[in-house]
Amino acid sequence: MGEHYSISKNNFDVFRFSKREADKIALVTEGGGQRGVFTAGVLDSFLQANFNPFDLLIGTSAGSLNLASYICGHKGHAYRIIEQVTRSPDFFKLSRFLLTGEGMDLDWLIDKTESDIPLNWKVGQAHLNTKQVLAVAAHATNFETKYFDLSTNNWKDILRASCAIPALHKQPVIMDEKRWLDGGLTTPIPVQAAYDRGFRHIVVIRTVPVDFKENHDWLISLAKMTKNDTLNHMAAMLVTHEENYRKTQAFLANPPDDVIIYEISPNKNLESKLLGSTKKQLDADYQHGKALGNLFLETIASKLSLSHLSPERFLVQTSENKLTDKAQQLKYNAQIDVLWDSKTQGEVLGVERIPLKWININPNDKKQTLVLVNGRNESYWKYKEVILELSQYFNIYAYDHRGQGESGRMTQDHELGHVDDFHDYVMDLYIFMERVVRPNLNGECFMLSHSMGAAVMTQYLSMFDHPVKASAATSPMFGVYIPGKAHGLKKQTLNLLDILANKPNYALGQSHFKKVRYEENVLTHSQVRYQMFVDLFVNNPNLRLGGPSTHWITESIKAGKKCIANAHKVKIPMLILQAGGDLVVSNIAQTAFHEKCHSSHLEVVKDSYHDILIEKDLYRDVAINTLLDFFTSDYRFY
């Protein structure tokens, strides 16, 4: 018997794998409809590592669509097709199918892909010159299996044929005067085909657990009882499918003596479905796929002498050690001082002529611009470490919101967190962009926001003409967390307190600035970064801010709801980094926004507290690298 390695969550099988030679290697991808988002995650982790050593690639159904994105080098492309295009009612609507029999519109899916999210076939053709990519389809009548050689000339017809799920596709797919159906009908996992073509190292990406079993005895029995021709034909197809599936699973579990199977699969049923998945379900499965793809790269690919792996694209330059070790701290402080001394600073008048302080930092003379929009009780001074990292790649602009940081205050109490109207924040950002940033753009413009700043950024992006090409938000405040005694109060109570107040005052349980001990904080797990954050306000009283006013809370609640209601108006790519352990803002509200925003992508930084960008290295490094990858890759497809 040959060798079989399972790359699955909580499976330690891979750690017994030892180094060996692999002169050539094949990749096989299973179908599964929207469950193919798991495969998209695996392949995107490969693209991230510049890993494509495969001489032969064979895909069935959704697996072939994934291979088309992969061979064209588009990280995030397959995810976007599944998340946006296949979830559109123009592609498939269950009620329409039940009432009229109209199923999936594959013509619309392929045409939509070509017009809105086009594949880069220049890159694809370069790969096709040295690699063979096959998409599997099945003859509709005699169930003959056909392996179509993907090319730039007929890729649309081939992908349609490979994905035509029996009884669900709208228009028959005709090629060579024959009608073709989903290749998964006869060849659900085309691993035997790779073996027959001489490949002895075969990577298989599944969309179901290895012990998955299908059984359609109920339909076969129904067909016998009713003697319905359509049901009989469907039952015959399913019998064929099940027989081939069992044969394939037997091959995978007991491969021939001369072959090694590397099987990447979920260890339990995926959250997403064939059709009708939510964005939350798709994101969970996509992240699962990315994690297992990285596990394969670390444990298997690195030992196959393939030399196709690239080094890390980004090196995070700072670490908690550099902030605690005295020698390293001196070096780090010197870097920060040089960076900060290089800044340009200025002032622009916002709504009602409130002065807004801003800075511009570009020590490396970068053309691409990144605008930072900070959260409540923050200042650009807090982001020195982040700016040091990001200024390697961008021309950085940042400003302080009205009522905090170095900008003008609106109440006699310098430390009261207050705003008359949340829309003032949004207009301030618009004014800053139009008068300071936009006139000085020399390249593409991106935007990065945090917490309250994300609510400001989102409203700006949904309301105004703007130059921003892609945006990202860490721990966005789309639902406000009401702390202390006010937590249990209903919205009506807050509104009443707001109305009764004859002047802005602290909300219940809130007060002037107080130094909170590290052990009591809910912002970060990093003690050294938290201490730096606190020291910033202790040593600079002019930057301090205390708790919010009742009116600020009611305005922020309304702002979060407005962001969710208008999520569909955000047209540019938006990355949401959700802090898995957030105790400050509502992750449920972030998910609600994400479901309604057609262009967003959500990734969870597991267990991180709210302030992802000043977290422990364990969480922060993930966030920084994810942000850099998003902004510097082909973000249009992510």
Give tens-digit pLDDT for 93-103: 766 666 666 66
Q: Is 468 helix (H, G, I), strand (E, B) or coil?
A: strand
How deeply is 209 buried, as exposed, middle or buried, from its count of CB atoms within 10 A (0-12, 13-18, 19+)? middle
Bridge partners, residue 182, by sequence:
137
Q: Examine the domain organization and report whether 342 and 274 are in the same domain.
A: no
Q: Examine the domain organization and report whether 88 and 188 are in the same domain.
A: yes
Tokens of 579: 């802090």
What DSSP string describes 133-200?
EEEEEEETTT--EEEEE--TTTHHHHHHHHH--TTTBSS-EEETTEEEEEGGGT-SSTHHHHHHTT-S
d(CA 419, CA 97): 50
User: 532 in a domain, yes or no?
Assistant: yes
Q: Examine the domain organization and report whether 177 and 59 are in the same domain.
A: yes
Q: Examine the domain organization and report whether 385 and 302 are in the same domain.
A: no
Q: Examine the domain organization and report whether 299 and 335 are in the same domain.
A: no
Over 60: is that where the pLDDT of 53 sits?
A: yes
Q: Is 328 helix (H, G, I), strand (E, B) or coil?
A: helix
Q: Examine the domain organization and report whether 54 and 153 are in the same domain.
A: yes
Answer whether 178's CB lies under 8 Å from 139's CB: yes
d(CA 27, CA 52): 10
Over 60: is that where the pLDDT of 493 sits?
A: no
Please state the φ and ψ torsions of residue 604, each to the nearest 5 degrees.
-95, 130
Task: Give 507-511's long-range contacts (Cβ < 8 A, gap of 24+).
Answer: 507/482, 507/547, 507/548, 507/549, 507/550, 507/552, 507/553, 508/484, 508/550, 509/483, 509/484, 509/485, 509/547, 510/417, 510/483, 510/484, 510/486, 510/546, 510/547, 510/548, 510/549, 511/546, 511/547
User: 233 in a domain, yes or no?
Assistant: no
Q: Examine the domain organization and report whether 449 and 473 are in the same domain.
A: yes
The H or E element containing residue 579 is: strand 574-579
| 486 secondary structure, DSSP code | G
Answer whether 114's CB lies under 8 Å from 211's CB: no
Q: Which residue has the higher pLDDT, 27 or 88?
A: 27
Question: What pLDDT does 229 receive?
Answer: 52
User: 637 in a domain, yes or no?
Assistant: no
Answer whether 610's CB lies under 8 Å from 451's CB: yes
Give tens-digit pLDDT for 466-478: 999 999 999 999 9
What is the mean pLDDT of the segment spanning 452-480? 96
Distance of CA 408 to the CA centre of its chain: 37
Average pLDDT, the chain: 86
Q: Examine the domain organization and report whether 296 and 429 are in the same domain.
A: no
Question: What pLDDT does 511 receive?
Answer: 85
Q: Examine the domain organization and report whether 21 and 155 are in the same domain.
A: yes
d(CA 384, CA 386): 6
Amino acid at 170: K
Q: Examine the domain organization and report whether 470 and 617 are in the same domain.
A: yes
d(CA 471, CA 447): 5
What CATH number corresponds to the domain at position 401? Answer: 3.40.50.1820
Q: Which of 636, 637, 77, 623 is nearest to 314 (CA)?
A: 623
Q: Examine the domain organization and report whether 103 and 147 are in the same domain.
A: yes
Give tens-digit pLDDT for 162-214: 777 766 666 677 777 788 777 777 888 999 999 999 999 999 999 988 776 65
Task: Report which listed range, 117-131, 277-291, 622-636, is most confident.
Answer: 277-291
Question: What pLDDT does 19 receive?
Answer: 83
Q: Examine the domain organization and report whether 302 and 164 are in the same domain.
A: yes
First-to-last CA distance in the chain? 42
User: 219 in a domain, yes or no?
Assistant: no
Tell me if residue 105 is catalytic: no
Number of C-beta neighbours around residue 312 at 10 A = 9
User: 599 in a domain, yes or no?
Assistant: yes
What DSSP string describes 330-347?
HHHHHHHHHHHHT-EEEE
User: 12 in a domain, yes or no?
Assistant: yes
Residues with Cβ within 8 Å of 507's Cβ and at least 6 positions away in sequence, in order, are: 482, 486, 494, 497, 547, 548, 549, 550, 552, 553
Q: Where are the beta strands (DSSP E) in 279-378?
A: 344-349, 355-361, 369-373
Query: For 38-47, 246-255, 394-403, 441-450, which range has the lowest pLDDT when averaged over its residues?
Result: 246-255
Percentage of the chain lying above the pLDDT 70 cut: 86
Give tens-digit pLDDT for 580-616: 999 999 999 999 999 999 899 999 999 999 999 999 9
Range of the domain at 514: 320-632
Number of structural domains the chain divides into? 2
Question: What pLDDT does 124 receive?
Answer: 85
d(CA 491, CA 56): 60
User: Which residue, 306, 332, 347, sits at the end of a domain?
Assistant: 306
User: 314 in a domain, yes or no?
Assistant: no
Give tens-digit pLDDT for 305-330: 775 555 556 666 678 988 888 888 89
What CATH number corresponds to the domain at position 54? Answer: 3.40.1090.10
| 263 secondary structure, DSSP code | E
Instruction: Please tell me which residue in 44, 182, 285, 629 is annotated as part of the active site.
Output: 182
Instruction: Please tell me which residue in 8, 45, 61, 556 is annotated as part of the active site.
Output: 61
Amino acid at 309: L
Answer whether 332's CB lies under 8 Å from 322's CB: yes
Give tens-digit pLDDT for 353-397: 999 999 999 999 999 999 999 999 999 999 999 999 999 999 999
What is the mean pLDDT of the segment spanning 41-66? 93
d(CA 13, CA 299): 10
Question: What pLDDT does 183 receive?
Answer: 72
User: 157 in a domain, yes or no?
Assistant: yes
Tell me if residue 182 is catalytic: yes
Over 70: is that where the pLDDT of 514 sits?
A: yes
